Amino acid sequence: MGKYSGVMVYAEQRDSKIHKVSYELIGKARELADKLNEKVYCCICGPSDLQINELIYRGVDKVFYIKNDEIFNTPEVMTYAKNVTNIIDKVKPEICLFGATSFGRSLAPRVAASLKSGLTADCTGLEIDEEDNKLIQIRPAFSENILAHIKSQYLPQMSTVRYKEFDEALRDDTRTGEVEIVEAISIENNAIEILEEITEEILNITDAKIVVSAGRGLKTSEDFKMIEELAKLLGGEVGSSRPLVEEGFISKAHQVGYSGNRVKPKLYIACGISGAPQHQAGMKESDMILAINSDPSAPIFNIADYGIVGDIYEIIPQMISKIKNKRA
């Protein structure tokens, strides 16, 4: 067994577009690698038209580019697992980071188990322990009630990391690095076949700077129009609490919470949302929170920077018209 060295990032792509969590991981990987005096590696599976140098500009020393125009066009996890495992096994990085996106959360455990290594899920903090140069992985557990500090006993030390947890690495297009093209391994008689994609709308609410969300205070699905209008005026996206998604008022892509999307916008406007812990788990880290609710005892007010006790059907139309007036 060779010596393990370096910090590897698994970079995710879809339709030749590199997922931004990859740049956040590279930023963190650079910081960790510099402390250890080691290199930053990146492994990416994708078609031949990837902007591969972008990874170098963000701080990677060497990219392992598993290039194939056919097999990486769907989220067929078995093929990815095989290819990524192969690279990690060959490169033997000391630390290996995956984005905790839905795909990353399906892929990484498979890879870790195959390497007989550990994997710490959904990290929100990563540090090097000064005493033994090992990775301290910090993650919430017990439905976000505790933060556990975890260390891996095996190498590589592997983690999945939440999107929007770390800052994106700065881009420097004078940086240089190496790209090794790796031939992809296809699986014969693959047990999984992707039949079709039925995505209704591609909405990445986690990327929105402003989210205007509605909860049970909203009476009909029609009323989402006013939420949409406010969101649009502010250049934001529409969010929703779980009950309205279950009622069929709006699609799941808009759901914010423990079992939906976790958002961290500059401003979160909670309209008629009482603020159950499950909802808070998805939005409590927003930079600024405004809650509008007619019930002054609603828990959402405890985590809001600003609160208006009142009827959303009065306040939102007022806000819309006042914003329009300001801009007129």
The DSSP call for residue 174 is: T
> Biggest alpha carbon distance in the chain?
69
Closer by beta carbon to other proteins, 56 or else 111: 111
For the record, the structure tokens of 223 come out as: 């009323």
Closer by beta carbon to other proteins, 179 or else 216: 216
Minimum separation from the CB atom of position 174 to other proteins (A): 31
Minimum separation from the CB atom of position 120 to other proteins (A): 6
Closer by beta carbon to other proteins, 62 or else 262: 262
Please tell me the distance from the alpha carbon of residue 25 to that of residue 123, in angstroms, as a whole number.
11
Minimum separation from the CB atom of position 133 to other proteins (A): 15
Half-sphere exposure of 174 (CA within 13 A, CB side): 0
Closer by beta carbon to other proteins, 56 or else 71: 71
Please tell me the distance from the alpha carbon of residue 55 to that of residue 13, in angstroms, as a whole number.
12
Burial of 59 (0-12, 13-18, 19+ CB in 10 A): buried
Residue 300 to residues 230, 283, 306, Cα–Cα distance (Å): 20, 11, 10
Length of the chain: 328
Closer by beta carbon to other proteins, 5 or else 152: 152
**DSSP one-letter string for 72-115:** TSS--HHHHHHHHHHHHHHH--SEEEEE-SHHHHHHHHHHHHHT
Residue 178 to residues 22, 57, 149, 171, 317, Cα–Cα distance (Å): 17, 11, 34, 16, 55
Minimum separation from the CB atom of position 245 to other proteins (A): 9
For the record, the structure tokens of 194 come out as: 């992707």
Minimum separation from the CB atom of position 251 to other proteins (A): 9
Minimum separation from the CB atom of position 74 to other proteins (A): 7
Minimum separation from the CB atom of position 313 to other proteins (A): 12
Closer by beta carbon to other proteins, 56 or else 316: 316
Closer by beta carbon to other proteins, 56 or else 126: 126
Place of tokens 């095996």: 154
